[in-house]
Amino acid sequence: MISSQIPKNPIKRLDVFWTLGEGVIVSADMQSRTRKNLTHYTRVVLNPFTMKVVEESCSCEAGSFGRKCWHLKLLEQLIENDAGLREEIERARNEMIQAEKDVLSW
């Protein structure tokens, strides 16, 4: 489990969207654990067919060195455990697949 030092509600914004050629994206602005007035941009890209993480990034110090920070771990836990978020991801996935089919039919 993630450290107990995490702010009570660290997520300030959470978005789910898709881009052709990249995948389904879950992004969040998360409050820093150590600096109250600092927000980090955290982003996870899911493959629309396997729903596995293919890319992840965070603007925090650990993320800037390519390490997996607690922001990414928390976002991945939310993706795995939050039913409402999973529904949004599935909706974005279906929209993306339909858009790809439409492009192929042109």
- Reading across the β-sheet that carries 23-31, which strands appear in turn? 11-19, 23-31, 39-46, 53-58
Q: What is the DSSP string of 42-87?
A: EEEEE-TTT--EEEEEESSHHHHTT---HHHHHHHHHHHH-HHHHH
Distance CA 28, CA 5 (A): 19
Name beta bridge partners: 13. 29
pLDDT tens figures, 10-32: 899 999 999 988 999 999 999 98
pLDDT tens figures, 47-86: 999 999 999 999 999 988 888 999 999 999 999 999 999 9
pTM (two decimals): 0.84
What does the mean pLDDT of the chain come to?
89
Distance CA 31, CA 24 (A): 23
Whether 1 shows a pLDDT value over 70: the answer reads: no
